[in-house]
Amino acid sequence: MNYSEWKFYYKKILKEFHFSQRKDMESAEILSSLLDDNFVRLNDLEHMVKGKEVLIIGDSPYFSIDKNILKNRVIITADDATSRLLDIGHTPQFVFTDLDSSPETILEASMRGSIIGVHAHGDNIKRLNIVNKIDKRFGTTQAFPLWNVYNFGGFTDGDRAVFFAEHFKAQSIIVAGFNFYDPNQRKGKDLYKKFRKLLFSRYLLYELMRKSKVKIIIL
């Protein structure tokens, strides 16, 4: 999804969650400066995804990862789900993160060869410096894209990964381990706000499914 289409949904996000567009842009600009010329280009991302079967894994405790489902697919994990995959000895090709999970997990995935899609938003500016320790990386934003910070659409790590795979015309996208109605609890986190974010994520996915020609399956 290009930005001209995405900005309709972005305005909804800003209004619904009272986010600051100015802070989102500030974060994107800081991430752009940190990435500089060291980031994975669009044509390389397209080569890895276009025409491939893609599996995107979320961190639902109700989803058990079967190694058989990982075979012959491009695997993308959404932030916290990354540790579950590493624990069974599998390295995802991509990790999508807004740096809300353990930095050690992100760095371990990077060390094992994952490409890390680091998302910049108004609330994670202080955590962005981790990109200096990541080998293969690219940046994303939900605001206006920059030359080295992309916007494929999407809101949370999970649905942003789906928008990414759809953007590059994956053959099919399987979405697994997404729990829209019972968010994982974290100390110091607003559970109700998380629940609202997940519901908005679900809305965006169904909007994408309605508009896209790519086969998207939610397990």
Which of 21-25, 37-41, 58-62, 96-100 is predicted with the least confidence, judged by mean pLDDT? 58-62
Mean pLDDT in residue range 199-205? 97
- Domain housing 77: 3-218
Q: Residues 86-111, buried b or exposed e (16+ Cβ, 10 A)?
A: beeeebbbbbbbbbebeeebbeebbe
pLDDT of res. 35: 98
Q: What's the CATH code of the domain at 37? A: 3.90.1480
Mean pLDDT of the chain: 95
pLDDT class for 15, splitting at 50, 70, 90?
Answer: very high
pLDDT at 193 over 80: yes
Mean pLDDT in residue range 55-77? 92
Domain count, the chain: 1
pLDDT at 186 over 90: no
Contacts of 22 (CB under 8 A, 6+ apart): 122
Residue pLDDT, tens place only, 139-148? 999 999 999 9
